[in-house]
């Protein structure tokens, strides 16, 4: 079966340059990410002290990923 999507070299549309988000929007999105990261961190700590290491590790990973994406949103735009 052939792939219905055309390869990139056959597409005639030019690549549209990506625009940076306005600074206020980046700050707002980073603030939302910070709140969610704090919530994930709280779950991680609560699970760790509640003897649930698997949940604690998963919540800590969620916290780190949210901080990472929030940082990318703020600094990369």
Where is pLDDT greater, at 45 or 11? Answer: 45
Nearest to 53 by CA among 66, 61, 67, 64: 61
Tell me the per-residue pLDDT of 17-61, one tens digit each, with 9 for 90 and over.
778 889 999 999 999 999 999 999 999 999 999 999 999 999 999
Nearest to 71 by CA among 41, 13, 26: 26
This prediction has a pTM of 0.71
Q: Does residue 73 surpass a pLDDT of 70?
A: yes
34 near 70, Cβ under 8 Å? yes
59 near 47, Cβ under 8 Å? yes
- Which pLDDT does position 43 carry in this prediction? 97
Nearest to 70 by CA among 46, 47, 39, 43: 39
């Amino acid at each position: 079966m052939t792939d219905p999507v055309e390869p990139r070299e056959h597409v005639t549309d030019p690549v549209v340059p990506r625009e940076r988000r306005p600074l206020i929007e980046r700050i707002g999105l980073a603030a939302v990410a910070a709140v969610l990261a704090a919530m994930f961190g709280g779950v991680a700590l609560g699970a760790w002290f509640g003897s649930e290491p698997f949940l604690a590790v998963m919540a800590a990973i969620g916290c780190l990923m949210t901080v990472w994406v929030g940082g990318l949103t703020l600094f990369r735009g």
